[in-house]
């Protein structure tokens, strides 16, 4: 059981690290061109749904990147709260929701 806790913790750290690197790489690609259409919203939202919303939201402020995008500024905190809630429930229940049934 302890291995499952370690694996989930490593997963959370890895997804948030990927989220920070994703924001950094998109910022480096865009450069100073603010008028260009942002095409990476799908990657950002998918990464947030997989558990990296908190990393995305914090890195957006730390790098001062895409702060004018209203959709991301509203959606990321909501998804981050949901991520934290689901991970809290998973850790508190001991991941028993993975057990389908016992005979």
Spatial distance between the Cα atoms of 99 and 35, rounded to a whole number of angstroms: 50
Q: In this structure, what token pair is assigned to residue 76?
A: 């990321």
Q: What average pLDDT does the structure give for the chain?
A: 89
78 compared with 102, residue with greater pLDDT: 78
Q: Is pLDDT at 74 greater than 90 in this prediction? A: yes
The residue count for the chain = 103
* pLDDT level of residue 102 (50, 70, 90 thresholds): low
Q: In this structure, what token pair is assigned to residue 88?
A: 């809290």
Q: Is pLDDT at 59 greater than 90 in this prediction? A: yes
Q: Whole-prediction pTM value?
A: 0.84
Digit-coded pLDDT (tens) for 41-52: 899 999 999 999
Digit-coded pLDDT (tens) for 4-49: 899 999 999 999 999 999 999 999 988 756 666 666 789 999 999 9
84 close to 54: Cβ distance less than 8 angstroms: yes
């Amino acid at each position: 059981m302890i291995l499952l806790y370690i694996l989930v913790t490593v997963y959370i750290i890895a997804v948030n690290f990927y989220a920070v690197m994703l924001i950094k790489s998109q910022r480096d690609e865009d450069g100073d061109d603010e008028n260009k259409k942002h095409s990476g919203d799908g990657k950002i939202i998918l990464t947030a749904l997989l558990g990296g919303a908190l990393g995305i939201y914090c890195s957006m402020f730390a790098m001062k990147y895409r702060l004018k995008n209203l959709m991301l500024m509203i959606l990321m905190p909501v998804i981050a709260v949901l991520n934290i809630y689901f991970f809290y429930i998973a850790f508190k229940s001991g991941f028993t929701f993975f057990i389908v049934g016992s005979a």
